Amino acid sequence: MKSTRPVLAVILLFTVALATVPQAGAYTIVEGKFCYKYDPTTLQPIGAGNTVFTYTEKIGLWVKINEPSAGAEYRFVWYDPTNTQYAQHVVDLVPKSGEDWGIVFDSLNIAETTAKDKTGVWNVKLLIDRKEEASAPFQIINYDSIQQSLANARAQIDIIQSENDLLQSQNQQLTLQLQQLQASYAALQAQVGTSTDYQQLQTQYNTLNAEYQTLGRDLSTTRMMMYAAVVVAIASVGVAVYFGAIKKS
């Protein structure tokens, strides 16, 4: 049963650059094309393309030869992606009526053979009288595998987009927290005294301390009572100086 999908999935359209070797005979290999078939009247290729899917029915190689030798043997040898010979066919030359050229054509079935399981780059060689005269690569690819790869790539893109959205949300939250911390720091700075305030507290402490030393030398009986009051004052100033130093640090 033939596939209902397109007979030949053409991805790249171009004339095959055949790798040729010098011929000893008079014939000349002019050009080659991968195609589905050729027109029996014009002998021109139909459905050109060197890349096909695993569901493609077949792929063929069309080769135009000037001044061909009708009595020569024309053989196509097909190699799979492991460079293992997969098939070979001897074909007849098809001459162009009234012209000095003709073509040789051979095809490889894909969809309903094991060839569909051998994806990758194949190679086909043209032998004339068992001598290699030309070769060209073509490719069989798995459409379903490509679709799955695309689906996986889209899923990865969705995941990355989701992660990016989450990171942007977290960045916005962190930015807001930073702004709040900066505002709190500015308010704290406004509450903390300046270095001048600290110096004034230190001066007051030094003065009270000097007075305490003086009282300690001059007073007798009442010295202890005043001593206690001064101690309390000094302690208060010391606490103020201490907390002022903490706020400045």
pLDDT digits (tens, 9 = 90+) for 97-122: 999 999 999 999 999 999 999 999 99
Q: What is the mean pLDDT of the chain?
A: 80
Strand 85-91, strand 131-141: pairing: unpaired
Q: Which helix (H) or strand (E) holds 232?
A: helix 223-248
pLDDT, position 170 = 86
Q: What is the pLDDT of residue 214?
A: 72
Q: Which amino acid would we find at residue 197?
A: D
Question: How far, in Å, CA of 106 to CA of 218, rounded?
Answer: 129
For residue 28, which of 89, 102, 79, 91 has the smallest C-alpha distance? 102
- Least confident segment among 20-34, 36-50, 215-229: 215-229
What pLDDT, on the 0 to 100 scale, is given for residue 4? Answer: 39
pLDDT above 80 (res 10): no
The reported pLDDT for the residue numbered 101 is 96
Whether the predicted pLDDT of 158 surpasses 60: yes
The pair of three-digit structure tokens given for residue 40, joined into one six-digit string = 């029996």
How many Å apart are CA 199 and CA 203, to the nearest integer?
6
Length of the chain (residues): 249
Q: What is the dihedral of CA 144, 145, 150, 156, to 10 degrees?
A: 130
pTM for this one? 0.56
Q: For the chain, first and last CA: distance in Å?
A: 88
Indicate the DSSP class of residue 199: H
For the chain, give the percent of residues with pLDDT over 70: 73
* 5 — pLDDT class (breaks 50, 70, 90): very low
Residue 33 · residue 16 · CB < 8 Å: yes
Give the mean model confidence (pLDDT) for residues 218-238.
60
Dist CA 103 CA 165 (whole Å): 61
Q: Are 122 and 138 in contact (CB under 8 A)?
A: yes
